Amino acid sequence: MPPAAELATSKDRLAVALDLPDKREAMKLVDRLGQTCQWYKVGMELYYAAGNRIVQQLRDRGFNVFLDLKLHDIPNTVAGAVRSATQAGASLLTIHASGGAAMMHAAAEAACAPGSPRLLAVTVLTSMDANQLAGIGITASPAEQVLRLAKLAQASGIDGMVCSPEEVDLLRTETGPDTLLVIPGIRPAGSAVPGVFGDDQKRIATPAQAIAHGASMLVVGRPITRAQDPAEAARAILQEIADAHLTAKL
Radius of gyration of the chain from Cα atoms? 17
- Is 70 among the residues known to form the active site? yes
Contacts of 101 (CB under 8 A, 6+ apart): 152, 155, 156
The alpha carbon torsion through 71, 77, 83, 89 (nearest 10 deg) reads -30
Report how far residue 65's alpha carbon sits from residue 54's, in angstroms, rounded to the nearest whole number.
9
Burial class (CB in 10 A: 0-12, 13-18, 19+), 224: buried
pLDDT at 9: 80
The answer, yes or no, to whether residue 136 has pLDDT greater than 70, is: yes
User: Is there a contact between 114 and 84 (Cβ–Cβ < 8 Å)?
Assistant: no
The stretch 85-89 carries a mean pLDDT of 93
pLDDT average, residue stretch 150-167: 95
pLDDT at 188: 84
pTM: 0.90
Q: Which of 115, 171, 166, 126 is nearest to 147 (CA)?
A: 171
Q: What is the mean pLDDT of residues 115-131?
A: 93
Average pLDDT over all residues of the chain? 90
- Provide mean pLDDT across the span 28-40: 97
- What integer is the mean pLDDT of 153-164? 95
Instruction: Let me know: does 192 contact 173? Beta carbons within 8 Å.
Output: no
Q: What percent of the chain has pLDDT over 70?
A: 90
- As a whole number of angstroms, the distance between CA 107 and CA 104 comes to 5
Query: pLDDT: is 193 or 82 the higher one?
Result: 82
Q: Which pLDDT score is estimated for 2?
A: 46
Q: What is the pLDDT of residues 177-226, one digit of tens each?
A: 999 999 998 988 765 444 444 445 555 688 999 999 999 999 999 999 99
Q: Strand pairing of 180-183 and 160-162?
A: parallel
Would you state the pLDDT for residue 197? 43
Residues 6+ apart with CB under 8 A from 55: 42, 47, 65, 67, 88, 89, 90
| Active-site residue, from 70, 151, 202, 249 | 70
CA distance 12 to 195: 29
3-class secondary structure, 17:
strand
Give the side-chain half-sphere CA count within 13 A for 68. Answer: 23
pLDDT for res 205? 81
Sign of the alpha-carbon dihedral angle for 222, 224, 229, 233: positive
139: confidence class by pLDDT, cuts 50, 70, 90: very high
Report the number of secondary-structure helices (H) and strands (E) in the chain: 12, 8
* Higher-confidence position of 96 and 245: 96
The domain of 41 spans 4-249
Count of structural domains within the chain = 1
Whether 3 shows a pLDDT value over 80: the answer reads: no
Residue 197: helix, strand or coil by DSSP? coil
CATH at 95: 3.20.20.70
